[in-house]
Structure 1
Amino acid sequence: MISRTRRVWLFVVLSRPHFLLGGFALFGLGAAIARYLGNEVDAGMYVYGQALVTFGQLMTHYLNEYYDGPADSQNPRRTPFSGGSGAIGPGLLSRRTAQSAAIICLAIMGILASARLIRGDVPLVAWLLFLLLLFGAFFYNAPPLRLVSSGYGELTAALTVGGIVPSFAFVLQTGQLHRILFMSTAPLIALCFAMLITFELPDYYTDARFGKSNLLVRIGWQNAMRLHDLAILFAILSYILAYISGFPMRVALGAAIVVPLALAQIWQMGRLRAGFKPHWRTLTMVGLGLFSLAAYIELVGFLLS
């Protein structure tokens, strides 16, 4: 019998709160870009949009634990960022807990969306982005699409997290899209894609064993590593092109800080391909740090510009 305190703590672990910080940064980035372009930020709309994003993230976490729990419990290479939360299993929380939590989050999102739909104060393009966000968050793990096992899950997740979340925040404040928004999100999408590949590498053999046909399993770990490197190089090139096209100086200078870490991650991935002993925790931490640092640097840059 699990004590109440233990159960609460396991549920916190199940929710993976450290990943929620990225949602706050990326949503804040969208609003910061709107403010930089001269729009007044509506605090009520901001809180509303952030709530939708956060509950969407939580729903994705819980669905992942529900559908991947049996495989993740057999993963000997689990890190804080890959292989599940470790809160599901014998003597821990049940899969039903994760399923119920996901349903509750989806219901809350439905209630919040319905309330604003009745008021009619959300722009049409924001609703379209919200539907894309909901689609990516739900079907990433859930059947019948289960994108995580289709080979397209990584790209879908990168587009959702790195692109749609800040775009949703921006459109809630402005009602339209803007070229600076695309200049800001293109490198983040690429870095998020690279990060997801690093998260999947420690799980490669477990995923293959349990029939989880994600991108790594479908194309092989060596090809996936090359895609990882290309994604990082694309992000660097995107920042350079954005600067040439009129990106704010403070944001561009901040982005330059990311370049050495990005090149170091490519070097580390090259060592893995060459057969050196993998350090999974370091690899996943740097992958997360690279994406998070880029997002927070952009956020601060736009706030100070």
Structure 2
Amino acid sequence: MRLRIQTSGKAEKGRLSAWIQAFRLHFVPPSFIPVTLAAAIAWARYSVFDPVAFVLVFAGVTVHHVGLNMLDDVLDYLHAVDRAWGDERNPYSGGSGVLTEGLLSVSQMRKGVIVCYTFTIGIWLYLGYDRGWPVAAIGAIGILSSIFYTAPPVKFAYRGFGELGLLVNFGPVLVLGSYYVQRGTLDTEPLVVSLVPGFLMWSMIVINEIPDYEEDRRSGKLNLVARFGREAGVVLYEAGLLCAFGIIAGSVFFGVAPFPALLGFAALPPALRSVRLLRNFYQDRLKMIPANLAIIKVYLISGVALIAGYLLHGFTG
């Protein structure tokens, strides 16, 4: 009896670990940080904050991103994009690995996707009804884009539009939608500032495509890196960072964003480090892992710093 209990416990722990791996939580902040940034802008500029609506949006986009991660895993696996790498696997590219390693089945992952999207759509329908058609429209763009990122017949990630789609959805779509939920209108400032997380998301997806260059080309997933090569990927990565930090500086200089938004430059040192690492090791999927990790840190630091900047402005402005 004791042996069976221990075995069951290990099995349950193994399943839980597999699901956590499938969620790819390290890629989820690009969903909830823009939501928090939008709420911070609305509060700092107009003293508007609805905590219930914020929690609903925060929960909806977070669960949605988890569902998106699993959906992409399933479709890339079925399209023979992802494969098992063993000890040579870069944990920031090529999916979560739960399917290629046999930790979860396609059927289990599909059920997880259905649960996540059902939860997300429920919140979207409620907020669309409660806050009006702009929220419904913006939410529809986000949900449909996430589905057809890798799902046929669109599969825009396979056609060279995935990077742009992520820039738009994880920038303007998330920020403007969340801002509208808070304030009931759209403004120029959140649109401009939303391009910062948008371009950082561009860089994040580009650097994660570089280790998968050969596999993506073989499977027909012709993203920008697969189309133009690893060297072009390095340039595209740097361009995204340049645009993100340029927008922070420009928005403050031209009076669109408040001066404390310059706190976003706290992410510049790890950004420069990531560029140096990528330039040196873009041909080696294992040696470039620190660069993959660095862009996650850049995103987190810049996002939290921007939010802090707006909160500081709200308290002192």
Normalised by the length of structure 2, the TM-score is 0.87
Distance 1:185 1:92 in 2: 37
- C-alpha deviation, 1:156, in angstroms: 0.4
In structure 2, do the counterparts of structure 1 residues 277 and 87 end up closer, same or farther at CA, with 3 Å as the change threshold? closer
Give the secondary structure class of the aligned counterpart of 1:83: coil
Distance 2:285 2:146 in 1: 34
Distance 2:251 2:126 in 1: 38
Q: Does 1:106 align with 2:88?
A: no
Q: Which of 145, 151, 158 in structure 1 is aligned with 2:154?
A: 145
- C-alpha deviation, 1:67, in angstroms: 1.0
Q: Which of 288, 294, 298 in structure 1 is aligned with 2:306?
A: 298
Identity %: 23
Partner of 1:167: 176
Aligned length: 301
User: Which runs of 5 or more structure 1 residues have no equivalent in the other structure?
Assistant: none
Range that drifts further, 182-191 or 290-299: 182-191
If asked which structure has higher relative contact order (CA below 8 Å, sep 6+), I would say: 1
Mapping of 1:1-305 within 5 angstroms? 3-69=11-77, 70-75=80-85, 77-89=88-100, 91-117=102-128, 120-246=129-255, 247-252=257-262, 254-272=263-281, 279-305=287-313
Q: Is the CA contact 2:90–2:289 (under 8 Å) kept in the aligned structure 1?
A: yes
Distance 1:21 1:211 in 2: 29
In structure 2, do the counterparts of structure 1 residues 241 and 129 end up closer, same or farther at CA, with 3 Å as the change threshold? same
- C-alpha deviation, 1:272, in angstroms: 4.2
Give the secondary structure class of the aligned counterpart of 1:72: coil
Q: Which amino acid is 1:288 matched to? A: I
Normalised by the length of structure 1, the TM-score is 0.90
In structure 2, do the counterparts of structure 1 residues 156 and 181 end up closer, same or farther at CA, with 3 Å as the change threshold? same
Partner of 2:5: none
Q: Which amino acid is 1:232 matched to? A: L
Q: Is the CA contact 2:238–2:275 (under 8 Å) kept in the aligned structure 1?
A: yes
In structure 2, do the counterparts of structure 1 residues 94 and 236 end up closer, same or farther at CA, with 3 Å as the change threshold? same
- C-alpha deviation, 1:266, in angstroms: 3.0
Which portions of structure 1, spanning 4 or more consecutive aligned residues, are displaced by more than 4 angstroms? 275-278
Q: Which amino acid is 1:97 matched to? A: Q
Q: Is the CA contact 1:60–1:137 (under 8 Å) kept in the aligned structure 2?
A: yes
Q: Is the CA contact 2:125–2:136 (under 8 Å) kept in the aligned structure 1?
A: no
